[in-house]
Amino acid sequence: MKGITTGQIKMNIAVLSGKGGTGKTMVSVNLARITVPSVYVDCDVEEPNGHLYFKPEDVVCEEVSVLVPKSDPDKCNGCRECVRFCRFNALVFSLDRLTVFNDMCHSCGGCSVICPQEAITEYPRTIGHLELGRSGDVYVRTGIMNIGEVAGSPIISRLLDVNTSPKKGITFIDCPPGSSCMVMESIKDADFCLLVTEPTIFGTHNLKMVVELVTEFDKPFGVILNKTVEGEADPSEEYCLENHIPIIGRIPFDRELSNLSSEAKIASEESVRFENLFQSILDNISEMV
Ligand code: SF4
Ligand code: SF4
């Protein structure tokens, strides 16, 4: 395998898509595999699946928790200052006691500071965990949110901060689909954003949302057109051309590529044809950054 050596540089490339199923993880995994050394970070904490391709070894787990408040009923006088303060409506005072809705709490810590009776303390609540391992030259980091949790941003934040990777090299950030606050957390330190889309009107609609997001964050970006079919109209391509958005690469609809992905195989490892395809995408990115 040729690959590219990135020992002299450090860069974060975020891979996004407006919806699931566009091939975002397939692109992230293949780019990480042909780059040496590299870091693959799976921020799709609700449904991470990049590790299925890499099958990392020597995996270390780390719990992720957030601080949530609890009130001491012996100290609380029912003044409701905390309820009025919480802009997330996570606190309710009724039946002579304070109730905390943990799912709505953003762990800002304000209620414990504002309580005049010093009745509120904070305790850690586990919301998920990280799995940190290695697959050859790729450092693989996966964030996994516990079932029933709704806010994955603290897991993503920890996932991007954790220090188990080489000082130099390219980090590929496999973002959650869509344009939610979890995506914003995932791209905040990205040097370049790669937007993966498909040739459907729905795909184009979602691409536009992600373009708006990365533009708002003032990130340089380009688009990968996935599942293209020669001779057929591609509304995503038309949108890019009309709006002067750089097209970084085209990945044709290819049954072999689909089969390899469905078997959780990394196409660039299995075939020189696919290795060259992803190599050309990397070359185009390096020309832009
Ligand atoms: S601010 Fe403190 S004393 Fe007042 S209701 Fe809340 S917990 Fe009780
Ligand atoms: S920590 Fe912040 S978000 Fe959570 S209940 Fe207190 S004030 Fe509300």
Query: Are 103 and 193 part of one and the same domain?
Result: no
Q: Tally the domains of the chain.
A: 2
pLDDT at 149: 87
18, 191 contact by CB (below 8 A): no
pLDDT at 4: 53
Cα–Cα distance measured from residue 146 to residue 152, given in angstroms and rounded to the nearest whole number: 9
Determine the residue type at 207: L
Query: Are 165 and 57 part of one and the same domain?
Result: yes
Ligand nearest to the CA of 106: 2
pLDDT at 21: 86
Ligand 1: centre distance to CA 255 (Å): 62
Buried b (16+ CB within 10 A) or exposed e, 9-31: eebbbbbbbbbeebbbbbbbbbb
Its pTM stands at 0.89
pLDDT at 3: 47
Q: Kindly state whether residue 6 falls inside one of the protein's structural domains.
A: no
pLDDT at 57: 95
Q: Is 28 in the pocket of ligand 2 (CB under 6 A)?
A: no
Q: Kindly state whether residue 172 falls inside one of the protein's structural domains.
A: yes
pLDDT at 2: 45
277, 270 contact by CB (below 8 A): no
Q: Looking at residue 80, which CATH number applies to its domain?
A: 3.30.70.20
Ligand 1: centre distance to CA 128 (Å): 29
Q: Kindly state whether residue 1 falls inside one of the protein's structural domains.
A: no
Helix (H) or strand (E) holding 95: none
Residue of 98, 108, 120, 122 with the most ligand 2 atoms within 8 Å of its CB, for mutation? 108
Determine the residue type at 205: H
Cα–Cα distance measured from residue 39 to residue 135, given in angstroms and rounded to the nearest whole number: 10
191, 180 contact by CB (below 8 A): no
Query: Are 156 and 203 part of one and the same domain?
Result: yes
Ligand 1: centre distance to CA 114 (Å): 8
Q: Kindly state whether residue 47 falls inside one of the protein's structural domains.
A: yes
Q: Kindly state whether residue 4 falls inside one of the protein's structural domains.
A: no
Give the residue from 34, 37, 36, 39 showing the smallest Cα distance to 14. Answer: 39
Give the residue from 8, 51, 57, 58 showing the smallest Cα distance to 32. Answer: 51
Ligand 2: centre distance to CA 123 (Å): 12
Query: Are 27 and 89 part of one and the same domain?
Result: no
Q: Looking at residue 140, which CATH number applies to its domain?
A: 3.40.50.300
* Half-sphere exposure (Cβ direction) of 67: Cα atoms closer than 13 Å: 11
Query: Are 101 and 232 part of one and the same domain?
Result: no
> pLDDT in tens for each of the 289 residues of the chain?
444 555 556 789 999 998 888 999 999 999 999 998 899 999 999 999 999 999 999 999 999 999 999 999 999 999 999 999 999 999 999 989 999 999 899 999 999 999 999 999 999 999 999 999 999 999 999 999 999 888 899 999 999 988 766 666 899 999 999 988 999 999 999 999 999 999 999 999 999 999 999 999 999 999 999 999 988 889 999 999 999 999 999 999 999 999 999 999 999 999 999 999 999 999 999 888 8
- Collect all residues with Cβ–Cβ distance below 8 Å to 54 and sequence separation of at least 6: 29, 33, 40, 133, 135, 138, 140, 266
pLDDT at 108: 95
* Structural domain for 206, as ranges: 11-64+130-288
Query: Are 41 and 89 part of one and the same domain?
Result: no
Query: Are 79 and 28 part of one and the same domain?
Result: no
Query: Are 92 and 168 part of one and the same domain?
Result: no
257, 267 contact by CB (below 8 A): yes
Query: Are 177 and 47 part of one and the same domain?
Result: yes
Q: Kindly state whether residue 261 falls inside one of the protein's structural domains.
A: yes
Q: Kindly state whether residue 2 falls inside one of the protein's structural domains.
A: no
What radius of gyration do the chain's Cα atoms show? 22
Residue of 75, 79, 105 with the most ligand 1 atoms within 8 Å of its CB, for mutation? 79
Q: Kindly state whether residue 125 falls inside one of the protein's structural domains.
A: no
Query: Are 27 and 87 part of one and the same domain?
Result: no
Residue of 83, 88, 101 with the most ligand 2 atoms within 8 Å of its CB, for mutation? 88
Cα–Cα distance measured from residue 29 to residue 85, given in angstroms and rounded to the nearest whole number: 44
Q: Is 86 in the pocket of ligand 1 (CB under 6 A)?
A: no
Query: Are 47 and 102 part of one and the same domain?
Result: no
Query: Are 113 and 159 part of one and the same domain?
Result: no
pLDDT at 36: 82
